[in-house]
């Protein structure tokens, strides 16, 4: 049996935070609103970090960090590919130069 994930609006979460900020204990706010105290504590942490941007989006506070990590991995991969291509280009340019010198040497010796 799976439980449906309940999604709370930003306004609701801010209303809960205002109750907590007014001095009402988290346990009491949780009982009054049918929430788990750990959930309110998590919201409080997010709210304290950045009140203006708290609870924006889909409710996933790690969404931005996950995107940043994904982009950093991509940058690392592209950097490695770029370095590989630079080295390969240097080798190919060296081989082309060697071939030019050989063909000059052959035409000069005739």
pTM of full prediction above 0.75: no
74 with 110, same domain?
Answer: yes
How many C-alpha atoms does 59 have within 13 Å on its Cβ side? 13
For tokens 């998590």, what's the residue?
Answer: 42
Which range of residues forms the domain containing residue 49?
8-61
36 with 26, same domain?
Answer: yes
18 with 49, same domain?
Answer: yes
Contact between 10 and 51 (Cβ < 8 Å) = no
- 3 within some domain: no
Residue 11 above 70 pLDDT? yes
84 with 57, same domain?
Answer: no
Domain count, the chain: 2
Q: Which of 61, 76, 95 is a domain's end point?
A: 61
12 with 32, same domain?
Answer: yes
pLDDT in tens, 39-98: 999 999 999 988 888 887 665 556 677 788 889 999 999 999 999 999 999 999 999 999
């Amino acid at each position: 049996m799976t439980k449906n994930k309940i999604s709370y609006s930003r306004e609701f979460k801010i209303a809960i935070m205002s109750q907590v900020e007014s001095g009402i204990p988290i346990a009491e706010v949780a009982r009054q609103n049918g929430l788990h105290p750990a959930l309110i504590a998590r919201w409080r942490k997010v709210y304290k970090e950045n009140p203006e941007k708290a609870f924006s989006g889909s409710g996933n506070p790690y969404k931005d960090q996950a995107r940043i990590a994904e982009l950093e991995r991509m940058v690392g991969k592209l950097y490695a590919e770029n370095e590989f291509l630079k080295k390969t280009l240097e080798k190919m340019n060296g081989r082309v130069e060697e071939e030019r010198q050989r063909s000059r040497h052959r035409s000069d010796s005739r």
